[in-house]
Amino acid sequence: MSGHSTYKPKTGFTRWLDSRLPIIRLGWDSFVDFPTPKNLNYWWTFGGILALCLGIQIATGVVLAMHYVPSGLAAPGGSLAFNSVEHIMRDVNHGWMIRYIHANGASMFFLAVYIHMFRGIYYGSFKPPREVLWILGCIIYLLMMATAFMGYVLPWGQMSYFGAVVITNLFGALPIVGKSITTWLWGGFAVDNPTLNRFFSLHYLLPFMIAGVVVLHIWALHVPGNNNPRGVEVKSKADTVPFHPYYTVKDGFAMVVFLILFASFVFYMPDALGHPDNYVPANPLVTPAHIVPEWYFLPFYAILRAVPDKLTGVLCMFGAVGVLFVLPWIDRSKTRSMRYRPTARLFFLIFIVDCLLLGLCGSHEPDDKIFANLAGFTFIDSNLNSYTWLSRILGLYYFGFYVILFFLSWTEKPLPVPESISEPVLKGPALPKGATAEAEKKG
């Protein structure tokens, strides 16, 4: 896709195939002899890890679907759906393991995607000429959220049920059309059997749509090629190495480390990221005392609850995701990598902490005290020593960060950027040896 192809079919069959469907050539040019910047660090291995995660979810999901029954109809001990998940856990050969891989796989998928996205923001990978690549990534992220949300509904436990109730009711906040939209989403007057059925259908479909967008994402990557930690474009062949074996091996090593973490969840703490209430069958007449979404939605949930007005809260929550799409037009700085933007880097690091703390807020009741033995006092409508106010401050910074990036694009004076990927290392005249080595390690 970039430059001419170096693939040479060696056997009679591959020559025959190459003149009919050059699919081996496509693979060769994309993943073997693809010229890749030689300075990619481990933050660049998460793309491959994400592809692995999608593969694992699809493989385990298809197998689960052979035993799962998407029906909320009552059955002794719960519902057909709830019982079928218990049947997978107890009776189906290896069922427990397959389900735990699928359930924890969703968390691992989000862990990887968040790292991947923060990487993109830090190194300016969303900037020209990679805007379309970035937007396709945002679309994948949206589809992932929809898929994971609907998957979590399938076991039809209490958290499944009331998670579905709260999230579908978000659309009810829209003026005029809100009520018709929720009725349409539910297929009834409340979350019920029809809702579960359609969620299963869509939960099966969306991962394949994700796979389709991933193809576009990689296509859009292979037109301009990879960004890199220095954020300067590839200038010559000296700046690149072939993808194989250099990055196949590096990505492979990262995958193995990632799978160790994955396996330690699956085999040693499979329910650590889940919620015990989801082992209680759904009961539309009683809401559990404390409902929380899965961890990967907590920051957005905190933003939703921080706003006292229902519609504004919903708009802020969707806006928190939506703003990512326009990031290329917010941060206009010509310097891609924040390695050379000390001010932006500082605000970026605060932004990461901000997101993590928002997640913490989302996991608490809004009125919980932050400091247990401090009385605090009421400010406007809530105690200042409560997660309500903390979420408000953090939510303000979440959006403030983008405003700051916007203005920094003009006011900030970046550090000098190296001429090219290889230059300072190969023939950098002024810098002492140690200084370049250190610059390499940073970031």
Partner 1 sequence: MANTVVESYPPTEHGADDPNRRDFIHIAAATAAVGGVAVFAWPLIDEMNPSADVLALASIEFDLSKVSLGQQVVVKWQGKPVFVRYRTPKEIAEAVKDDNAPMKDPATDASRHKPGKAQYLILVGVCTHLGCVPNFGLGDYGGWLCPCHGSVYDTAGRIRKGPAPLNLLMPNYAFTSDTKIKIG
Are 420 and 239 within 8 A, CB to CB?
yes
Q: Which stretch binds ligand HEM (CB under 6 A): 22-30, 64-72, 257-265, 398-406?
A: 64-72
Neighbours of 28 (CB within 10 A): 19
Q: Which is nearer to partner 1, 194 or 252 (CB)?
A: 194
Half-sphere exposure in the Cβ direction for 263 (13 Å, CA) = 6
* Binding status of residue 111 toward ligand HEM by CB under 6 A: no
Q: What character string, x for contact with ligand HEM (CB under 6 A) and - otherwise, covers 257-296?
A: -----------------x----------------------
Are 240 and 118 within 8 A, CB to CB?
no
Are 88 and 303 within 8 A, CB to CB?
no
Q: Point out the residue whose Cβ comes nearest to ligand HEM.
A: 61
Q: How far apart are CA 218 and CA 202, in angstroms?
A: 24
Q: Choose from ligand HEM, partner 1, none: what does 236 bind? Cβ within 5-8 Å by kind.
A: none
Q: How far apart are CA 316 and CA 314, in angstroms?
A: 5
Q: Which stretch binds ligand HEM (CB under 6 A): 34-42, 59-67, 238-246, 417-425?
A: 59-67
152, 340, 389, 397: which one binds ligand HEM (CB under 6 A): 152
Q: How far apart are CA 171 and CA 178, in angstroms?
A: 6
Which of 325, 287, 249 is CA-nearest to residue 48? Answer: 249
Are 193 and 73 within 8 A, CB to CB?
yes
Which of 336, 348, 364 is CA-nearest to residue 398? Answer: 348
Q: Which is nearer to ligand HEM, 126 or 200 (CB)?
A: 200
Q: How far apart are CA 87 and CA 97, in angstroms?
A: 13
Q: Choose from partner 1, ligand HEM, none: what does 415 bind? Cβ within 5-8 Å by kind.
A: none
Q: What residues between 67 and 86 interact with ligand HEM by CB under 6 A?
A: 68, 85
Q: How far apart are CA 46 and CA 223, in angstroms?
A: 20
69, 111, 154, 165: which one binds ligand HEM (CB under 6 A): 154
Q: Which is nearer to ligand HEM, 56 or 324 (CB)?
A: 56
* Binding status of residue 58 toward ligand HEM by CB under 6 A: yes
Tell me the Ramachandran region of residue 240: left when phi exceeds 0, alpha when psi lies from -120 to 50, beta otherwise.
beta
* Binding status of residue 151 toward ligand HEM by CB under 6 A: yes
Q: Which is nearer to ligand HEM, 68 or 340 (CB)?
A: 68
State the nearest-atom distance from the C-beta of 159 to ligand HEM, in Å.
9
Helices (H) and strands (E) in the chain, counts: 17, 6
What is the residue type of 272?
A
The tokens describing 247, both together, are 């990055």
State the nearest-atom distance from the C-beta of 188 to ligand HEM, in Å.
21
Q: Which stretch binds ligand HEM (CB under 6 A): 97-105, 178-186, 252-260, 366-374?
A: 97-105
Backbone angles phi, psi at 170, to 5 degrees: -55, -40
Q: Which is nearer to partner 1, 18 or 192 (CB)?
A: 192
Q: Which residues bind partner 1 (CB under 8 A)?
A: 162, 165-166, 168-170, 172, 183-192, 194, 198, 284-291, 305, 308-310, 313, 365-367
* Binding status of residue 102 toward ligand HEM by CB under 6 A: yes
State the nearest-atom distance from the C-beta of 394 to ligand HEM, in Å.
26
State the nearest-atom distance from the C-beta of 291 to partner 1, in Å.
6
Cross-strand partners of 382: 379
Q: Choose from partner 1, ligand HEM, none: what does 102 bind? Cβ within 5-8 Å by kind.
A: ligand HEM
The DSSP secondary-structure symbol of 289 reads: S
The DSSP secondary-structure symbol of 37 reads: E
Largest Cα–Cα distance of the chain, in whole Å? 81
- Chain positions contacting ligand HEM, by CB under 6 A: 54, 57-58, 61-62, 64-65, 68, 85, 99, 102-103, 106, 109, 144, 147-148, 151-152, 154-155, 203-204, 207, 210, 274
